[in-house]
């Protein structure tokens, strides 16, 4: 709480081509897909180039806490909007049109109150427009002595239901289905959003019944993936996902982080289903075969 989190991005437009510069680290969350999507939506261009990640642009913060769509997405959106404003001013000056009457329609700059239309490629020909934007989330506060206060920017809500098959004699568990409903704010990329949910569920499954570091007098007994078990595609259950869209008013794009909430509640959902099936207390995770059959 009270941390002034921010991210910075730079946008360049010339001859209908957009270059995006930011320091966001891509670790599979899909920001390299989302950032061009934002630029295309704001500026009406087809060609978007992501320049090599460069910390000299300014901080993007960590790729953690499901924050990059909110923070760096907000920075890219802000930089693109500034470029769009300058493009409208440039077009308005050349064609004697009030920039406030101009909008982006598909890949054109259009006068809302007249017949004027020009492609973004033609409008930006021979002109370099560059803007940098630093996005900050709203201020937060420390919790008071009663544990109350405005300590977080937003909250995500998610629920999971697990269906499992349990062999009580061998202690084997097969997760058949995970059903989930998740508050995602606003879905910006449906395929990527579902991938985040499915990936989080896979991680939660691993914690529930597979992944454990075994120590013996301080020595790790399972230091390789031969003995440290991870879920694979063969272990993945059927996923029934409902994405509840209630755009977050504090978020620049209305979207909340998606990837981490499934990791939190899918593990206890699986554990509760195994308890239901066996009648055992099972107070630890991962739940091992010997916890069920012995």
Model pLDDT for residues 204-259, shown as the tens digit of each residue: 999 999 999 999 999 999 999 999 999 999 999 999 999 999 999 989 999 998 98
How many other CB atoms are there within 10 angstroms of residue 244's CB atom?
12
pLDDT in tens, 74-96: 999 999 999 999 999 999 999 99
Q: What is the pLDDT of residue 156?
A: 86
Q: What is the pLDDT of residue 173?
A: 97
Q: What is the pLDDT of residue 151?
A: 85
In this chain, the answer to whether the domains covering 6-136 and 158-293 adopt an identical fold is yes
153 pLDDT tier (thresholds 50, 70, 90): confident
Indicate whether 1 pLDDT > 70.
no
Q: What is the pLDDT of residue 56?
A: 78
CATH topology of domain 6-136: Aldehyde Oxidoreductase; domain 4 (3.30.365)
Q: Are strands 158-167 and 17-22 parallel, antiparallel or unpaired?
A: unpaired
73 pLDDT tier (thresholds 50, 70, 90): very high
Q: Which two tokens stand for residue 124?
A: 């930006």
Q: What is the pLDDT of residue 220?
A: 96
pLDDT in tens, 92-134: 999 999 999 999 999 999 999 989 999 999 999 999 999 999 9
Note the pTM of the prediction, 2 decimals: 0.88
Please state, in angstroms and rounded to a whole number, the distance separating the CA atoms of residues 2 and 169: 52
Instruction: Please give the angle made by the CA atoms of 260, 262 and 267, to the nearest 5 degrees.
Output: 120
Indicate whether 3 pLDDT > 80.
no
Long-range contacts, 56-60 (Cβ 8 Å, 24+): 57/8, 57/9, 57/10, 57/21, 57/22, 57/23, 57/132, 58/7, 58/8, 58/9, 58/23, 58/132, 58/134, 59/6, 59/7, 59/8, 59/23, 60/7, 60/8, 60/9, 60/22, 60/23, 60/24, 60/25
Cβ-contact 57, 10 below 8 angstroms? yes
Q: Which two tokens stand for residue 239?
A: 């996923």
Q: What is residue 292's three-state secondary structure? A: helix
Domain boundaries, the chain: 6-136, 158-293
141 pLDDT tier (thresholds 50, 70, 90): confident
Q: Which two tokens stand for residue 9?
A: 């991005």
Considering the four listed CATH numbers 3.40.50.80, 3.90.226.10, 3.30.365.10, 3.40.50.300, the one that applies to the domain covering 158-293 is 3.30.365.10
């Amino acid at each position: 709480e009270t941390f002034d989190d921010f991210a910075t991005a730079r946008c360049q437009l010339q001859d209908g081509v957009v270059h995006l510069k930011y320091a966001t680290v891509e670790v599979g969350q899909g920001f390299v897909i989302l950032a061009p999507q934002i630029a295309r939506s704001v500026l009406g261009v087809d060609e978007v180039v992501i320049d090599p990640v460069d910390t000299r642009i300014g901080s993007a913060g960590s790729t953690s806490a499901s924050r990059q769509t909110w923070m760096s997405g907000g920075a890219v959106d802000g930089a693109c909007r500034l470029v769009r404003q300058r493009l409208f001013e440039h077009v308005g000056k050349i064609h004697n049109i009030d920039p406030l009457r101009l909008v982006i329609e598909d890949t054109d700059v259009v006068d809302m109150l007249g017949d004027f239309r020009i492609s973004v490629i033609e409008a930006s020909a021979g002109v370099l427009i560059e803007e940098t934007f630093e996005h900050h989330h709203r201020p937060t506060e420390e919790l008071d002595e009663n544990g109350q206060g405005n300590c977080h920017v937003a909250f995500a809500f998610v629920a999971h239901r697990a269906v499992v098959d349990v062999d009580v004699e061998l202690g084997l568990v097969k997760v058949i289905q995970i059903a989930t409903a998740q508050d995602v704010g606003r879905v910006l990329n449906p395929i990527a959003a579902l991938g985040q949910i499915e990936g989080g569920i896979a991680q939660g499954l691993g914690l529930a019944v597979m992944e454990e570091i075994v120590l013996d007098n301080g020595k790790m007994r399972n230091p390789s993936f031969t003995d440290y078990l991870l879920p694979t595609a063969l272990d993945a259950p059927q996923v029934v996902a409902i994405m509840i869209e209630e755009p977050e008013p504090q978020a620049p794009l209305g979207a909340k982080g998606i990837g981490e909430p499934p990791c939190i509640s899918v593990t206890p959902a699986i554990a509760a289903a195994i308890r239901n099936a066996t009648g055992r207390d099972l107070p630890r995770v991962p739940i091992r075969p010997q916890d069920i059959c012995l």
